[in-house]
Amino acid sequence: MTMPLLKVDSLTKLFPVQRGLFRKPIEFVHAVDGISFEIGSGQSLGLVGESGCGKSTTGRMLTRLMDATSGQILLADNGNPVDVAHITRDGMRTFRRRVQMIFQDPYESMNPRRTIFDTVAEPLTVQGIGTVTEREEKVADLLRLVGLSPPETFLFRYPHELSGGQRQRIAIARALVINPSFVVADEPTSMLDVSIRISIMDLMLKLGDEFDVSYLYITHDLAVARYMCDRIAVMYLGKIVELAESEELLSNPLHPYTKALLSAVPVPDPSFKRAPVEIKGGIGKAINPPPLCRFIERCPIATDVCHNNDHPPLEDKGGGHYVACYLV
């Protein structure tokens, strides 16, 4: 079997909760707790869940903005797996050339004192790619590609002169300027207005195809994940509870949490009647959680099996539809 572009195995991140006189960490928030998945070349995976489920933490670990507590992230480099956790300082430069990130807030993710040219050319400068003229050409090309043309009118402006949608286009240009093979996009459109959102999403899809980029698309919005991604993984308190092809997940949800999440999404059609949502309350925090199924407290169908066993493993129920539930 060939190596997929990205292979994540039992990835875990624990945050210490410091209490007491000597600030000794006695408890841990299990932000991400042993998740495994793969993303093939040119594929996109949507990571969906409520706030606090660990989806952004996962994204930050994949881009090495944060180190994992345990587990393995393997990134294929010409078919050879590279262990992301043990990349050396030199290797980091190559890694950054291959993995980029697009952040949620286009107002916070750019240096206000650098021009658009400096912002977009930064990865090229850091990587030492090309001469100044070549960089200028490359940046101008990218700006044209992301729909900011003529590029000359944008190159020497500052972020504050641009709208939110234009800034997010710059963020996309910056992420793609060094031809990465994998991009983590953390809620890139959630701060944008509806009328601008679709054009940014379409742009990411188009450029993803053109540059053969794989995306990990982090969002709380299932409708957006459906539009953007080949497959969707649903997270709940640090665990992936279900993972399947997007249409399969939406039309045939198996995990009780996925079912609840789907029936809670408002539908833009006043004559559509949603199924009642079976679960109540909000999401908690997984501070030293018991080894039981994470969803057990809110689960409408939990039985003795769930109360007497560990968190269920994520198993293929046929055709690549993975679910972590004993009762499916």
CB nearer other proteins, residue 100 or residue 189? 189
Torsion from C-alpha of 114, 198, 58, 289, nearest 10 degrees: 130
Q: Distance between CA 260 and CA 281 in Å, rounded?
A: 12
Q: Which of 36, 38, 40, 50 binds other proteins (CB under 8 A)?
A: 50
Q: Which of 2, 131, 133, 195 binds other proteins (CB under 8 A)?
A: 195
CB nearer other proteins, residue 180 or residue 242? 242
Least Cβ distance, residue 287 to other proteins (angstroms): 15
Count the neighbouring beta carbons within 10 Å of the beta carbon of residue 321.
19
Question: What angle is formed at CA 51 by the lines to CA 205 and CA 119, rounded to 5 degrees?
Answer: 45
Least Cβ distance, residue 179 to other proteins (angstroms): 25
With binding defined as CB under 8 A, does residue 22 bind other proteins? no
With binding defined as CB under 8 A, does residue 143 bind other proteins? no
Only segment of 10-18, 20-28, 101-109, 274-282 that touches other proteins (CB under 8 A): 274-282
Phi/psi for 89 (5° steps) reads -60, -40
CB nearer other proteins, residue 4 or residue 159? 159
Q: Are 305 and 236 in contact (CB under 8 A)?
A: no
Continuous H helices in 149-255: 152-155, 164-176, 194-211, 222-228, 246-251
CB nearer other proteins, residue 108 or residue 304? 108
Count of positions (residues) in the chain: 328
Q: Are 168 and 189 in contact (CB under 8 A)?
A: yes
Q: Which of 102, 170, 183, 260 binds other proteins (CB under 8 A)?
A: 260
- Interface with other proteins: number of residues (CB under 8 A): 43
Would you give the binding string for other proteins spanning residues 226-255, x where CB under 8 A is met? xx------------------xx--x-----
Least Cβ distance, residue 143 to other proteins (angstroms): 17
> Residue 297, Cα to own-chain centre: how many angstroms?
26
Task: Classify strands 99-102 and 182-186 as parallel, antiparallel or unpaired.
Answer: parallel
Phi/psi for 271 (5° steps) reads -90, 0
Contacts with other proteins by CB under 8 A lie at: 50-51, 163, 165-166, 193-199, 201-202, 220-224, 226-227, 246-247, 250, 260-272, 277, 279-283
